[in-house]
Structure 1
Amino acid sequence: MNARTVSPVDDDALAASWHEVMGRYHRLTCALDRALGSAHGLSSSEFDVLEQLYTHDEPKMKMATLAELVHLSQSALSRLVSRLEKDGLLARNVCTTDRRAMWTSLTDAGRRRYEEARPTHRSTLRADVAVCTADAAFTCDGR
């Protein structure tokens, strides 16, 4: 059997692994949404945007770059950033060299909210992800 030929059993195992990974992803996203929402008023996607901006080398980032990093469409990111901007956590500015592009950056309040929410995010990850083994099959124990 060459690398391009896959038996139906292999296809079924591959699909089962995919469903397991996606199920864990969705359960973890829900757990993060609950924990971050109740403690900090943030969704996991909003936290992800704050984290990308907080850890970025520059004080601002183009919206198109941010959309790629957080795996959102530009329109979905624009709506999310509008909410964070309304809450005073982000600022948006038109790029002076390319008026089609927008920059976004954290405000001081956004930095503080990220710093407050980060321990909640990490403890939620630890509680859920710690049961996963690191093998190539992405198998998980106990869930």
Structure 2
Amino acid sequence: MSDDPTVQAWRRLLAQHAAATCALDRELGDLHGLSVSEFEVLERLVEAPEKLRIQELASEIHLSQSATTRVVARLEKDGLLCRTMCDMDRRGVYACISDDGRARYAEARPTQRRVLGEQLDGAPAAV
């Protein structure tokens, strides 16, 4: 084990992130049929004042553009969002949340907040 405090802090952070991500994946998947990344996409779309471009989503959820495109494709297949082309730039693709996507997000949000509270604070979070 390293005796460097910075390395020790880094390893604690990685372990906490892994534990929280695994717990979120398990709970969101079992209860709502969503992965952590799918939940994050839905949450960003709910919070956005308008639709978001795929590259904006990728930046916000910390995935590559190709990984984000795959997540968006799964959500689109499930009817939770749709993709539209940008009128100004035909290379741009927007993601728009559907009513079903909003409903699934609303159902999953308390689970995500509870698990985050348990993992990060040691107690359930207020929803």
* TM-score, normalized by the shorter chain, greater than 0.5: yes
108, 113, 124: which one aligns with 2:99: 108
AA partner of residue 22 (structure 1): L
How many residues align structurally? 122
| Bigger Rg over Cα | 1
Give the whole-Å Cα distance in 1 for the aligned partners of 2:24 and 2:38. 11
3-state SS in 1 of match to 2:83 = strand
Question: Offset at 1:57?
Answer: 1.4
Give the whole-Å Cα distance in 2 for the aligned partners of 1:130 and 1:16. 20
AA partner of residue 55 (structure 1): E
Where does residue 98 of structure 1 map in the other structure? 89
Structure 1 or 2: more helix by fraction: 2
Unaligned runs of 5+ in 1: 1-7, 133-143
Question: Offset at 1:130?
Answer: 1.1
TM-score, structure 2 normalization? 0.92
Q: Which runs of 4+ in 1 moved over 6 A?
A: none
Question: Offset at 1:131?
Answer: 3.3
Give the whole-Å Cα distance in 1 for the aligned partners of 2:37 and 2:78. 15
Alignment identity in percent?
Answer: 48
Where does residue 30 of structure 2 map in the other structure? 38
AA partner of residue 121 (structure 1): Q
2:108 counterpart of 1:117: yes
Where does residue 79 of structure 1 map in the other structure? 70
